[in-house]
């Protein structure tokens, strides 16, 4: 998942990065497919080159290694809303068939309290204004739902014309990379379609993990397994993070299942 997300950044010039899996993928891209990629974080750091995975957008490593640090209002008003960022990278708690995102709250049933999530942060502005948006999250019916409990961030609304009708300049989500494969919006309907599987995964597995009737591309591709160079770079990133935080451990390790997770 992390490796394939990094590969999607080949050729991009600037990337607005979120913490977690998006940050791992973006930093991996700088060490593999796109060494000139300019990483931009919400805290105002431009051109960060962290030697390890940052713990948050406020991690001092981002400012220490940045080409420039600007205020958050300038980051959003000039860089993001000014259309100066090619790719935005987002995670999600829930995604629907049109790549709309929920990171606000989930309903747990009549006898359980509502589950509160971290909220929007800069995600709505990222999804609205970046040239394109990449999403990365694990694939399950809990995450890929028929209807969002709350719409935090607009992906493609209810179809291909909704973004234009709202005056949103960016293309919106162009790929959703999961631990099972890759989904991309259909050009005609904007509905997410299964386009690629990871090695060893079947289309039925992906459909069974999706909360709607997932369609697949006429020609279903298979992603290339992580290369040794990609795994070496990923392990080095996570080892550096583990050295910074003794309580953590690298997620890519010595077993075949770890290799599958890394794809």
What residues act catalytically?
Answer: 42
Within a 10 A sphere around the Cβ of 69, how many other Cβ atoms?
16
Tokens, residue 91 = 């995670």
Q: Around 140, how many Cα atoms within 13 Å sit in the side-chain half-sphere?
A: 5
């Amino acid at each position: 998942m992390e490796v394939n997300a990094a590969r999607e950044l080949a050729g991009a010039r600037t990337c607005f990065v979120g913490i977690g899996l998006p940050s791992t993928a973006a930093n991996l891209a700088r060490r593999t497919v796109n060494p000139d990629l300019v990483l931009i974080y919400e805290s105002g750091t431009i051109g960060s080159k962290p030697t390890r995975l940052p713990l948050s957008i406020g991690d001092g490593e981002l400012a220490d290694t940045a080409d420039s640090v600007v205020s958050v209002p300038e980051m959003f008003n000039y860089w993001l809303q000014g259309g100066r960022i090619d790719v935005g990278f987002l995670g999600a708690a829930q995604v629907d068939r049109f790549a709309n995102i929920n990171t606000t709250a989930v309903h747990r049933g009549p006898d359980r309290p509502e589950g509160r999530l971290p909220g929007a942060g800069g995600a709505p502005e990222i999804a609205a204004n970046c040239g394109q948006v990449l999403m990365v999250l694990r694939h399950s019916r809990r995450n890929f739902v028929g209807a969002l409990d709350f719409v935090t961030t607009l992906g493609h609304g209810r179809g291909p014309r909704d973004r234009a009708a709202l005056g949103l300049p960016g293309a919106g989500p162009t790929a959703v990379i999961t631990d099972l494969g890759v989904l991309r919006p259909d050009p005609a309907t904007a509905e997410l379609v299964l386009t690629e599987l990871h090695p060893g995964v079947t289309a039925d597995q992906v459909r069974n993990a999706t909360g709607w009737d997932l369609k697949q591309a006429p020609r279903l591709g298979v992603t290339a397994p992580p290369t040794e160079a990609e795994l070496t770079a990923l392990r080095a990133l996570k080892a550096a993070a583990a050295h910074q935080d003794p309580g953590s451990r690298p997620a890519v390790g010595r077993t075949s299942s770890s290799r599958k997770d890394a794809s």
